[in-house]
Amino acid sequence: MPPTIMRQPALTATASYLALESHAADARHWQLRALFAADPQRFPALTTDAAGLFLDYSKNRVDATTIALLLELARERGVEARRDAMFAGDKINLTEHRAVLHTALRLPRGAALTVDGQDVVADVHAVLDRMKEFSERVRGGAWLGHSGKPITDIVNIGIGGSDLGPKMVTLALRSYARPRLTTHFVSNVDGHDIDAVLGRVDPATTLFIIASKTFVTAETMLNAHTARSWFLASATEADLARHFVAVSTNTAAIKAFGIDPANMFPFWDWVGGRYSVWSSIGLSVALAVGFGYFSDLLAGAHAMDEHFRTAPLETNMPVLLAMTGFWNRQFLGCATLSIAPYHQDLSRFPAYLQQLEMESNGKRVTQSGAAVDTPTCPVVWGECGTNAQHAYFQLLHQGTDVTPIDFIATLRATHDLPGHHAALLANCFAQSEAFMKGKTADEVRADLQGGALTAAEIEALVPHKTFPGNRPSNTILMDQLTPLSLGALIALYEHKTFVQGVLWDVNSFDQWGVELGKVLAQQIQSELTGAPAPQRHDSSTNGLILMAKAAQHI
């Protein structure tokens, strides 16, 4: 039965939005320097902590009134009720008529949650138990390849959430990994991706994880069959079961591929791809760092879940992160968000958040199908500090657009190299201060005076060395990057994304925009590989196809 979709009032027509719009007319002229100078208690008033994380949102152009109005909007848009519906297993993914239960994947054993008559928690832990048993056999050397040698390399073949999540987490938890096992990730349909990996591994000691719920994902299955053919060049089909496992629910397809159904690790339709690292999609993580640390990752996320579910909005970290981001997007006109993790092991975290936020909230219609009457998700991008400082921070400091930044750092390193971490934190904190304060013309003049420059030369340099400042940022701190803190960090951004989706009244859990290109690609691929000359496309696409066919002598 199709879902009943209730039409919400337009966002811009709500009383709290109108109050914020009026308030923003003044706030747009605020200067962060002045806000800090006027309130010595600004830092403690605009910080919060939860699940091992600390959030400083004081360097946003907000005050107590702004936050109160934003939280009133959250209440008026039904954030609390929608949150409760998600945790209860209601089918809030209305276009696909599905529950949204990535939070159930990290519930502790014995917790109670029944959906459609099924004990969800028992199902989840049954799969987790199988992941534990399998990962311990591989890591301990008991699982042997067809020639009797233990596994040395894991190759995860997936795409989207089946790649970005486990790859990001495995890199982030590098210091917890077992040295004997090397983990590789293949996602791109570009053959150069899998070619680079296959050139580094030995078929006798390599285990492939094929991560595709349906086992028909085009990019994943092309790579999977390429790996299969490569493996069979030195082995037999009977050997496939020792070297290929599946994260899937399509038993018939995996059997036809040569995978033993006993080595199929399922997950459920209420797990969206970009929320799936907590499920059996995280098998590569469990193999890399061990099931105990994978369990800690789940526990960290669950701690943030419980905070999000129970904390008052005034101290609710995901809500506050979401509302300040919404303020910057809607009322200050900030079209992008830069993620700056000051931790090299979080190098893939910006890319992970790109999918999480932009695939979830990159929508132009509300849940009822009406056009959204405001901008929605900002463009999310970023790079690790301090590399980012020497790449694009120039634009963020002195460019014509204002880009909010999320700085993410740890108070302690997981290495013992002297001097590095103090230098890293100094840069992180200095950049957030510099974006907030900027540098005035008078400060530039004061710096330049007393040198060899004439007054005229100083005045010529002043506009080039002036920084407007007043750039908003958040700083998120944790003690160390551990499985627990990483789990909490990922869940923080998941719930932030959810809250903003509720505000815009979009369905954050479908991704129909991904499908159109896939459909067209199937047709064009047939035309590239021998079908008659293309005729159904525009002249540009037809011309490009003909050029490619000519280059390949088709």
pLDDT digits (tens, 9 = 90+) for 301-314: 999 999 999 999 99
Q: How far apart (Å, rounded) are the C-alpha atoms in residues 129 and 427?
A: 43
Q: Is the separation of the CB atoms in 495 and 306 below 8 Å?
A: no
Q: From CA 267, how far away is CA 283, in angstroms rounded?
A: 11
Q: Which two tokens stand for residue 517?
A: 């290109």
Domains annotated for the chain, with CATH where assigned, are: 16-76+311-437+471-507 (3.40.50.10490), 103-295 (3.40.50.10490), 515-551 (1.10.1390.10)
Q: What's the confidence (pLDDT) of residue 553?
A: 73
Give the tens place of pLDDT for each residue, 518-538: 788 888 888 888 766 666 899
What per-residue confidence (pLDDT) applies to 6? 60
pLDDT category at 515 given cuts 50, 70, 90 is: confident
- Whether residue 185 is predicted with pLDDT greater than 50 in this model: the reply is yes
Residue 191 has pLDDT above 60, yes or no: yes
Across 489-516, average pLDDT: 95
The total of other beta-carbon atoms located within 10 Å of residue 416's CB is 7
Q: Rounded to whole angstroms, how far apart are CA atoms 191 and 186?
A: 10
The amino acid sitting at 521 is A
Tell whether the model's pLDDT for residue 2 goes beyond 70. no
Q: Which residues have a catalytic role annotated? A: 359, 390, 518
> What is the amino acid identity at position 160?
G
- What is the arithmetic mean of pLDDT over 261-276? 94
CB 31 within 8 A of CB 472: no
Query: Is pLDDT at 19 greater than 80 in this prediction?
Result: yes
Q: What does DSSP assign to residue 98?
A: B
Q: What CA–CA distance (Å, rounded) separates 300 from 485?
A: 6
Evaluate the CA torsion angle 217, 219, 221, 224 in order and state its sign: negative
Per-residue confidence band for 247, with pLDDT thresholds at 50, 70 and 90: very high
Q: Is 103 helix (H, G, I), strand (E, B) or coil?
A: helix
Residue type, position 544, single letter: L
- For range 371-376, the mean pLDDT: 95
At residue 298, the pLDDT reads: 98
Query: Residue 341's closest CA among 261, 410, 280, 240?
Result: 410
